[in-house]
Structure 1
């Protein structure tokens, strides 16, 4: 430990509290202030309950331990715990954020059925506190690396936007179908697989069979984790997917940034699909999977899901409505021409993803250097 560095309990140097929660029905589409829930922004509201930017810790559910930073003048709900330095001259909020990102939350989370982090379990955590000039140097270095990562992720989003714009240019907007394409039900073009309700008690890192859960399906992003199933499930061909197949979330299918759908990556080849996730297996003889994937990202699909949703604040999609989804069907040759253009974009994305992985490795190494001293 360097001279001048201190070790304190988190509860000694930070206020730990869960603010008042407003219900989903109270959110306002044109509200002036952002509302933060367990996993970041969930909507807007006409009032705020925090003037300053705050460090937020997800304290309930599957994403326990996730860290967010709120914008100034925002409403923070009680399923996020505020971790606020008592003395701003002792701990920088950004330093606190990076410290919390380094914590192994498995040692803090309680509750098997519903994981949670409480003030009682959080307060005894030890935090290393360097002098402020050292904190500033650490934050500057980690901010630089995380900034590089974010810029590269933004490049990925721009390439995704380019792919979607090519779709509209070649096929038009499916909402009005101005090009007059034939329309088919999605299940006429693809096999639709409904996920199976695997017992959560069977999930473990040491198991050999990968499983795709709803938390793995982001907006145009596959989010890998370590959840796997025992080999006894290997014969469940009815819910098995392969590299390149499409998966879509059936619960909360739409969030603020778009439709939650993703492509199955190589490491999830022959994985199994869990409940509330559907797999879309394109019949390559009649339709391009690249075309179907881009179609699922259109405003038409977003509107279709919202029309079918039973709850506006959590738009869900039934497997029947997914199968019945009206799908424009241009000539296969034109779809394949589109797929060739997207293949070029995907190759560029792979290079960027490789660069992101390398930078993340360096970032994690520096995090370990600064925070793994206890």
Structure 2
């Protein structure tokens, strides 16, 4: 389909971001089939035009229909959007790979690094689906789902090594409130998207301990620096981290109360345990809690120092307290910026 028009899109995953992105594509005039795991979610979308669990109070467009049948969702799709959490992508994709339409563009919305393999999401997709890297695109940027379904203006990056595919997707998801840019730096966009969740946990912890904007700004800036170091070591363009998939996504995720990672970190900063924070988060663990381990392992593999990510990892998994984390970071040996 390289360069061809995207007319029909399958979105696999009816959570907050999957629903929001499906709405964007339908508002751009494309036919969208949204796969939902739960029948009641699909029924609500089709019968009442709403997804009360993930987009309450939002009327979904008529071009968006839902199904629990993955084969039905995927039939004839020009693009397949994978909107499941990063650590479940492989398992889900194994079940879908025989149904993927030939030559369709596979689009990842997940932001993370897979535990164990240390693969980026695009690498998981190419391996499991058996496709070439130029068929895989990633979406990244300041994309808080609740603001998008409310049609508040935002921008995003669609990255694909095949520029024509990126442009075709760009046209398929550009609306009066959602502006898309293209990029060919898939590595940079993915590392920026994965790293920001971990830095947002640190910013949340700082907020939970009562610290203000200076602390948050310092963590965002130094967090961006270490994320960019890792990205460059993996072959990314350093300028990507100054853009929407780097700084843009990082600022939104670290600053907004709508960010699951930031609010999860805030609970830890107030003294809650990981289990207590998870319970308060309706049983969901923020992506950064899992991916901090794989990101730190990736940094170690490539000889890249990631002090903030490593401190977050030790808070989440080794019993370091947020207060001890803060003291460690502020008393590190002086160095050139």
Higher helix share: 2
User: What's the TM-score once normalised by structure 2's chain length?
Assistant: 0.23
TM-score by length of 1: 0.22
Q: Which has the higher strand share?
A: 1
